[in-house]
Structure 1
């Protein structure tokens, strides 16, 4: 695990360095996105709990056993350790927090208050990761699956409005995460007893991503520059899961990648939940460091490592200086 942790740190460092201007020599050591130097390139992140590193103060991410692998205590990440760097959805979801529109409103206020300048945005990268919570909320509320495409159209339309807002604020490089295969999330795959992903819901992800890709292509053509790029979480998740499933066929002692490590007796998101006596209302797998999913929605540190390995070859093109 020491070697793997070193690899994760190396990949995370690569991710951050790629997001920072080559001219800023000190960025490799200080993670330039936190540098107040106006000449440094920052990585601005909007989205849900997949990219949140500690903003949701009153969430389960600040309760044990979150953070048990890294940093060793609950620190606001939704998982046992490092994440890819997912908070909420585009509309109001089952999670009680600011949606994408409100996040952009807050960011706009920071610009008006001169916390960030137009130059900061023009020279930096914006990462937007949102949408999964909206679909799982739609599904878990027992709404008609056959009406989901109408919902999808309104969701994508709203997301495009948000992306245009971010561009109009001055952002010149905007990376949009494609939706992960939601049919593989434990909260959905439990319907198959975690034997396989539910392809009907993965189809929702594929249709969503197709619609997003078409809209972003149109926007880039209209602007005349490749302002918008995509991060393919769909295929990277699916490839990572399939790879582990294949290995598991050869070695049945390996952990099922679709089964959550930290979970309630029933489907839910409340890893770390305790009763009024302080007794745990969840179970924890024997080897969290080997699981793929931490809870019913979020990958574990090992899960993100597996996904990151699938994304590694594309990161230079997506986050590089010539984006």
Structure 2
């Protein structure tokens, strides 16, 4: 991810002349006269990455199982890439259900706990292969499909009142950069990522899920790993130009999907605008929290070779934590704090109420 600065700068001139799309300003990307009136979700199925993972990734593979992750909730590391709750938890709360159990823990959950759906997201994954042996989104949907086919936990009839969260937070792009591929290939690769996301959305709809929420890509140029170069004072706008390309292609694709289904089945959660709204918030709504330094993370390594949760061979901590995680929007170099996610979903609340839940 650190090499994004150089790559995105080299592409900024290309994008400034070829980005001819408008900003994302709709929630469902389609004519909003079409809605599922009377729809009230009772199950949430989740697919994606670390912005949505609530405990699937193995302890040996991720920092999310190391202290100080989880210190706000549940009070210890539990697999969430934050000090507490993440996007999945806040979406579940919004629709009025408990956060769905991670797939990895399904055999330890009672039947009552499984009634709220299931989380198949794994931190570090993308729509394509990123980190083996982690399951990409296609494999995650395969697992879900197999559960439906087996019928032991869920059947197609259970999906009548279901909603899905499909999180794509940028791991495909980090993986692209790590392969040292030509910068000129990047715009075409963005289209490939969006096209594969559309394949995934179509597949979930075909399986019977009634509402599917897909977040826009957050402003990658504002992540602390990038804003470190400006002492956490400013975002890298060259990177955000590429993010806008992804998001505008996604909006076009979602509008097309909704025109095909004749209903607002597919919903864009506009994380890009929500993040920026929270960053600019001076204490008034929207956004429940004012963050004094929103681009500065709470948990950081003591030097560039260390990250949040790192310890040396003697077990000595090689990271620092801010005094109050609630005062920070970002927890580490990539992920929001629980309070950060709370503020984002405060911004999204109105659009969610208009598109996701119908009385």
Smaller-chain TM-score bracket: 0.7 to 0.9
Could you tell me how far 1:275 is from its partner in structure 2? 2.0
User: Structure 1 residues 22 and 222 mapped into 2: Cα distance closer, same or farther (>3 Å)?
Assistant: closer
Distance in structure 1 (CA, Å) of the matches to 2:132 and 2:277 = 28
Could you tell me how far 1:281 is from its partner in structure 2? 2.2
Distance in structure 1 (CA, Å) of the matches to 2:132 and 2:244 = 24
**Does the CA-based 8 Å contact 2:39-2:357 persist in structure 1?**
no
Give the structure 1 partner of residue 24 of structure 2: none
Aligned-residue CA RMSD (Å): 2.6
Q: Equivalent of 1:73, from 73, 76, 86?
A: 76
The answer to whether structure 1 residue 204 and structure 2 residue 260 are counterparts is no
Give the structure 1 partner of residue 128 of structure 2: 91
Q: Equivalent of 2:191, from 153, 156, 164?
A: 153
Could you tell me how far 1:84 is from its partner in structure 2? 1.8
Unaligned runs of 5+ in 1: 1-20, 25-39, 247-253
- Give the SS at the match of 1:289: helix
Could you tell me how far 1:280 is from its partner in structure 2? 1.4
Distance in structure 1 (CA, Å) of the matches to 2:301 and 2:133 = 19
Counterparts in 2 of 1:39-188, with a 5 A limit? 41-58=42-59, 59-85=62-88, 87=123, 88-94=125-131, 97-114=134-151, 115-139=153-177, 142-188=180-226
- Give the SS at the match of 2:281: helix
Could you tell me how far 1:270 is from its partner in structure 2? 4.3
- Give the SS at the match of 2:267: strand
User: Structure 1 residues 109 and 146 mapped into 2: Cα distance closer, same or farther (>3 Å)?
Assistant: same
Counterparts in 2 of 1:242-261, with a 5 A limit? 242-243=280-281, 255-261=292-298
- What's the TM-score once normalised by structure 1's chain length? 0.79
Q: Equivalent of 2:323, from 261, 286, 302?
A: 286
Distance in structure 1 (CA, Å) of the matches to 2:132 and 2:333 = 14
Could you tell me how far 1:224 is from its partner in structure 2? 2.4
User: Structure 1 residues 198 and 68 mapped into 2: Cα distance closer, same or farther (>3 Å)?
Assistant: same
- Give the SS at the match of 2:57: coil
User: Structure 1 residues 214 and 23 mapped into 2: Cα distance closer, same or farther (>3 Å)?
Assistant: closer
Distance in structure 2 (CA, Å) of the matches to 1:207 and 1:267 = 30
Unaligned runs of 5+ in 2: 1-36, 89-120, 285-290
Structure 1 range deviating more: 78-87 or 105-114: 78-87
The answer to whether structure 1 residue 295 and structure 2 residue 332 are counterparts is yes
User: Structure 1 residues 205 and 260 mapped into 2: Cα distance closer, same or farther (>3 Å)?
Assistant: same
**Does the CA-based 8 Å contact 1:269-1:295 persist in structure 2?**
no
Give the structure 1 partner of residue 350 of structure 2: 313
Distance in structure 2 (CA, Å) of the matches to 1:125 and 1:298 = 24
User: Structure 1 residues 224 and 308 mapped into 2: Cα distance closer, same or farther (>3 Å)?
Assistant: closer
Q: Equivalent of 1:225, from 249, 263, 268?
A: 263
**Does the CA-based 8 Å contact 2:213-2:267 persist in structure 1?**
yes
Q: Deviations over 1:125-176 (max 9, x none)?
A: 1111114112233345554444311110111111111111111111121111
* Number of residue-to-residue matches in the alignment: 280
**Does the CA-based 8 Å contact 1:292-1:299 persist in structure 2?**
yes
Give the structure 2 partner of residue 15 of structure 1: none
**Does the CA-based 8 Å contact 2:264-2:355 persist in structure 1?**
no
Distance in structure 2 (CA, Å) of the matches to 1:283 and 1:91 = 34
Give the structure 1 partner of residue 95 of structure 2: none
Q: Deviations over 1:90-130 (max 9, x none)?
A: 12225862211111011111111102111122321111111
Q: Equivalent of 1:215, from 253, 259, 267?
A: 253
